[in-house]
Chain A
């Protein structure tokens, strides 16, 4: 699978359009000329080892990079659905700081020194925030607002948990689910 050139989705005012282009690019399949996985696996394993402040518990290691990539891809495809061209246009006036700041990361605070799942979670959060700006609705009524707050608070809780337990794949999956729910609800309230 090929990915388009890495445009930072946060840069410039055309982020949603850039994101759409990236998502369209994900639909194209292309085989690399050689097996790239061994080198990627080695680099990610090194990054994860460097990030670990203490020896891990007895919990077995799992194929994290593959899962994380799949999770992010799932988010990307989910965002693609949310941002599909035929989606009903909605007002662009997102709530400020819909997602509270990232939980304190494990490691030294640099991308290279943090656990892969935490880095993936941050990337997901950035994509989510960009998508949220795109679909954000008019001011929802109180019960709906409480649910949006609940989702935001839960996303923070999951990211904090992931910072402490950076090998927990299911937490990344839950984060993806919460973001998808938040986007879906925001869009739905805009239509209601």
Chain B
């Protein structure tokens, strides 16, 4: 009996034990200041904060039914993964709280896990969720964030940002001077670069509404398309771009443009140059409305 108790106590001190109830997690690993951390948790919560230490601290609790917490890798690339028994559907949520070096790159994967990241300023921030919401605040050089039904609330000062969802809404704010790409199926897209001029912006949605507020850099390109969702671009008054817009049955509007409609059949379109026309903007919808505003 004593041996059994002793063995149980010893096992409880290691990371790779079967969890009989919510099991506290407390692990620390060294990581280079610009190292990479891959984090995976199917259900529960993933919270990442940053510090100036060259190490990763992992706390939280392993949900009942989860098999173990797997922590593998080296100082350059660390993997933190919650392992589940095969075909296990009745596991309790696991909470992972990580402290990572401020300039570490992150690759986070969740299914029904809420993901909350703050303070990161590494080269890459990749987040992939299914139904869990994603909140991210930071200044990674590039960010690639996707979900299926979870909402994305992002405040990023980055060079390039790619965001994608099926039905989740996308709200992105931040100084983004390079490229922004946003795709949804039914989720709404709201992007505000806080006056920063992007080199390239593309948005695609089926039935969601897409709005972009910001500026277009000299020679930059914007393309936005939807099936039934409405498109709205709010750009700088001193816009310099050729704009082409067309719709099958939606309405088109922009300051000072003349929308042409065929005498017979559906469809409307316009072509117009603003300023010296150095950039290019293309708007296409099937039944959604498209609007360009200059402020």
Q: Which residues in A have some Cβ–Cβ distance to B below 8 Å?
A: 54-59, 141, 143-144, 146-147, 150-151, 154, 157-158, 161, 164-165, 168, 170-171, 173-174, 177-178, 181, 185, 188-189, 192
Contact = CB atoms under 8 A, between A and B. Distances in A.
Contacts of A141: 89, 112
B26 interface: no
Given A59-B269, A150-B185, A154-B206, A143 B248 contact: no
Given A170-B284, A171-B227, A147 B167 contact: yes
Nearest to A178: B185
A103 B149 CA distance: 26
B267 A58 contact: yes
A147 B260 contact: no
B284 A157 contact: no
A147 B149 contact: yes
Interface in B78-133: 89, 111-112, 130-131
In the A-B complex, the 10 residue pairs with the smallest Cβ-Cβ separation, listed nearest first, are: A57-B267, A57-B262, A161-B286, A143-B131, A165-B248, A170-B225, A154-B206, A147-B148, A58-B262, A154-B185
Interface in B126-143: 130-131
B149 A161 contact: no
B154 interface: no
Given A56-B265, A56-B267, A147-B148, 18 more contacts: A54-B264, A55-B262, A55-B265, A57-B262, A57-B267, A58-B262, A59-B267, A144-B131, A147-B131, A154-B227, A157-B207, A157-B228, A158-B206, A161-B286, A164-B266, A165-B266, A170-B284, A188-B130
Contacts of A170: 204, 225, 284
A164 B227 CA distance: 12
B47 interface: no
A150 B166 contact: yes
Contacts of A161: 227, 248, 286-287
B61 to A, nearest CB: 21
B186 interface: yes
A143 B265 contact: no
Contacts of B287: 161
Nearest to B185: A154
A174 B227 contact: yes
Contacts of B228: 157
B111 A168 contact: no
B interface majority secondary structure: loop
21 contacts: A54-B265, A56-B267, A57-B262, A57-B265, A143-B112, A147-B149, A150-B149, A150-B167, A157-B206, A158-B227, A164-B286, A165-B248, A165-B267, A165-B286, A173-B204, A174-B225, A177-B204, A178-B185, A181-B185, A185-B166, A192-B42
A144 to B, nearest CB: 6
Interface string B236-256: 000000000010100000000
A174 B285 CA distance: 12
Contacts of B267: 56-59, 165
B246 A177 contact: no
B183 interface: yes
Contacts of B130: 143-144, 147, 185, 188-189, 192
Nearest to A142: B131
Given A146-B149, A161-B248, A171-B227, A154 B186 contact: yes
B228 to A, nearest CB: 7
Q: By CB atoms of chain B within 10 A, which of A147, A150, A177, A185 has the most?
A: A147
Interface string B145-185: 00011000000000000000011000000000000000101
B266 A57 contact: yes
Contacts of A154: 185-186, 206-207, 227
Nearest to B248: A165
Contacts of B112: 141, 143
B148 A192 contact: no
A59 B266 CA distance: 10
Contact of B284 (A56, A158, A168, A188): A168
Contacts of A188: 130
Interface string B267-295: 11100000000000000101100000000
A17 B47 CA distance: 43
Contact of A164 (B131, B248, B261, B268): B248
A33 to B, nearest CB: 38
Given A55-B265, A143-B112, A178 B248 contact: no
